[in-house]
Structure 1
Amino acid sequence: MTLEYAIRIERLAESDGGGYLATAPELPGCMSDGATPEEALRNIQEAIVSWIEAAQEWKQPVPAPAPPLARAG
């Protein structure tokens, strides 16, 4: 499955445990984390697949990924 959703990766404060938080803004509540940006990216890709599978199972709409130009700004 090709994932084309925008992903945001942010560094977490040491007071929050450190590492990196990855979110898929187009999929409400879809997030994951990792010790490195690369790990956070791998984990959010798995989370996106799980988010979509759960939405389909619950017969909820799955937002289509926004075109890349629509994400800029």
Structure 2
Amino acid sequence: MSHLQQNIHAIIRPGEEQGYFAECMEISVVTQGLTLDEVSKNLSEAVSLHLEDADATEFGLVAQPSLAVTFELQPEYA
């Protein structure tokens, strides 16, 4: 039996012009938002919808995986 992952990993990055975008590594989910709160909410909702009628084990995931999020932010230089 193969090992099932507990977490779905996602990265949130600043958008090109404004806001943020998020992308999951294990499943094909991408979303965006104007604020970190909005993109986080959108990401959680998009992952839930993506897995709603699916068998998580098809993606190598446990039945109810957690969402592990990494924020990738560039510091402002003077």
TM-score range, shorter chain: 0.5 to 0.7
Partner of residue 43, structure 1: 42
**TM-score normalised by length of structure 1:** 0.63
CA contact (8 A) 1:21 1:40 kept: yes
Segments of 5+ residues of structure 1 without an aligned counterpart are 69-73
Shift of 1:26: 0.9
11, 14, 19: which is aligned to 1:11?
14
Kindly state the Cα deviation for residue 25 of structure 1 after the two structures are TM-superposed: 0.9
1:61 to 46, 58, 62: 58
User: Structure 1 residue 62: deviation in Å?
Assistant: 3.0
RMSD value, Cα: 2.4
What is the number of equivalent residue pairs in this alignment? 57
Give the structure with higher Rg (CA).
2
More strand by share: 2
Bigger proportion of residues as helix: 1
**Larger RCO (CA within 8 A; separation ≥ 6):** 2
Deviations 1:30-66 (A, max 9, x none): 011100112101100000011112434xxx923315x
Which residue identity does 2:45 align to in structure 1?
Answer: E
Q: Quick one: distance in 1 between partners of 2:40 and 2:7?
A: 13
Identical amino acids, percent of aligned pairs: 26
